């Protein structure tokens, strides 16, 4: 097997929505396509490996974002170089918000962002909670959203998905959008965790990483992982019209 290196950044601080599951899904999809993988975890002050192929950053509350903020800002140049070189990055929730220009908070304050992705985030008192489905150019994504933020894109071409059920993170035309893609950097608010529910999206990440390295991949071998995902997606599809989403006023 040919090996990919996966790194989970801030697993202790930013991992409240099952974000280890996103890493596990990438490992599984790499293996299904004939690629071996090794996973490292880097916390505050710890160095990422030079040969990393995929970086995963998870979700956390505002207190956790403040806790990693200075360290993450210190990684700006390295992460920009990684993205510019075609490296694969997958960020969910709070970490995704910090990758934009900044976060405007409900108390009038703000958190400086890294400016790596083309949007700015405004925290709101309208909490978006419920099942969500998103149509992207590559795959249909099913999952759960739970956030109180509105993203304003500064580059409309970076919008990766259109919401077909749920609220999403930003306006897209006359509808709503979810997920931003800039090169091979993906950011969004679909949780669950999202990748175990959507092996096809994990495949997008694995194929992008393999393509960057010029690695040959095989057709995926389907197994229990795919069966579990299919069952969960089917259950969400059955319930989504009935449950939809609800709005919570903070």
Alpha-carbon distance of 21 to 191, in angstroms, equals: 10
Task: Note down the domain range covering 221.
Answer: 2-249
Alpha-carbon distance of 200 to 64, in angstroms, equals: 30
Tokens of 203: 């495949």
Which pLDDT band, with edges at 50, 70 and 90, does 2 fall under? low
Kindly report the CATH number assigned to the domain that includes residue 162.
3.40.50.880
> pLDDT for 81-104, tens place per residue?
999 999 999 999 999 999 999 999
Q: What is the pLDDT of residue 239?
A: 82
Look at residues 161, 156, 154 and name the one whose alpha carbon lies nearest to residue 177. 161
Alpha-carbon distance of 218 to 55, in angstroms, equals: 22
Which pLDDT band, with edges at 50, 70 and 90, does 249 fall under? very low
Q: What is the pLDDT of residue 222?
A: 84
pTM, full prediction: 0.94
Q: What is the pLDDT of residue 18?
A: 84
Beta 190-191 vs 170-172: how paired, if at all? Answer: unpaired
Give the residue-averaged pLDDT of 91-119. 97
Q: Is the pLDDT of residue 133 over 80?
A: yes
Percentage of the chain modeled with pLDDT above 90:
87
Beta 140-153 vs 119-135: how paired, if at all? Answer: antiparallel
CB contact set of 201 (below 8 Å; sequence gap of 6+): 136, 138, 139, 141, 194, 195
> pLDDT for 223-237, tens place per residue?
888 999 999 999 888
| Number of structural domains the chain divides into | 1
Look at residues 128, 126, 125 and name the one whose alpha carbon lies nearest to residue 106. 125
Q: What is the pLDDT of residue 248?
A: 40
Going by the annotation, the residues of the binding site for substrate are 127
CA-angle at 249, arms to 110 and 247, nearest 5°: 110
Per DSSP, helices labelled H in the chain are: 19-32, 62-74, 76-84, 94-98, 194-197, 199-213, 224-243
Q: How many residues does the chain have?
A: 250
Segments of 136-189 assigned E as strands = 140-153, 159-165, 170-172, 175-182, 185-188
Q: What is the pLDDT of residue 246?
A: 45
Look at residues 9, 154, 189, 141 and name the one whose alpha carbon lies nearest to residue 82. 9
Q: What is the pLDDT of residue 243?
A: 58
Look at residues 92, 125, 97 and name the one whose alpha carbon lies nearest to residue 112. 97
> Would you call 157 helix, strand, or coil by DSSP?
helix
In this structure, the dihedral spanned by the alpha carbons of residues 75, 214, 185 and 225, taken in order and rounded to 10 degrees, is -110
Q: What are phi and psi of 170, to 5 degrees?
A: -155, 160
**Average model confidence (pLDDT) for the chain?**
93
Q: Is the pLDDT of residue 78 over 80?
A: yes
Q: Is the pLDDT of residue 250 over 70?
A: no
Alpha-carbon distance of 119 to 5, in angstroms, equals: 28
Going by the annotation, the residues of the binding site are 127
Q: Is the pLDDT of residue 26 over 90?
A: yes
């Amino acid at each position: 097997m040919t090996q990919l290196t996966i790194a989970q950044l801030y697993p202790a601080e930013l991992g409240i929505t099952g974000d280890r599951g996103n890493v596990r899904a990438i490992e599984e999809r790499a293996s299904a396509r004939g690629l071996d993988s090794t996973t490292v975890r880097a916390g505050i002050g710890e160095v990422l490996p030079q040969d990393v192929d995929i970086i995963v950053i998870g979700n956390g509350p505002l207190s956790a974002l403040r806790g990693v903020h200075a360290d993450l800002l210190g990684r700006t140049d390295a992460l920009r170089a990684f993205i510019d070189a075609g490296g694969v990055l997958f960020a969910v929730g709070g970490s995704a918000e910090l990758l934009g220009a900044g976060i405007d908070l409900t108390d009038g304050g703000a958190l400086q962002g890294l400016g790596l992705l083309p949007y700015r985030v405004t925290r709101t008192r309208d909490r978006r909670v419920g099942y969500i489905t998103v149509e992207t150019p590559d795959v249909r994504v099913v999952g759960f959203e739970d956030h109180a933020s509105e993203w304003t894109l500064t580059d409309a071409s970076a919008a990766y998905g259109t919401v077909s059920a749920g609220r999403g993170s930003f306006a897209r035309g006359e509808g709503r959008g979810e997920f931003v893609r800039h090169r091979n950097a993906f950011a969004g608010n679909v949780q669950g965790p999202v990748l175990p529910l959507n092996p096809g999206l994990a495949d997008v990440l694995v194929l992008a990483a393999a393509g960057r390295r010029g690695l040959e991949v095989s057709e995926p071998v389907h197994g229990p992982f795919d069966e579990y995902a299919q069952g969960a997606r089917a259950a969400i599809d059955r319930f989504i019209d009935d449950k939809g989403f609800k709005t919570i006023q903070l």
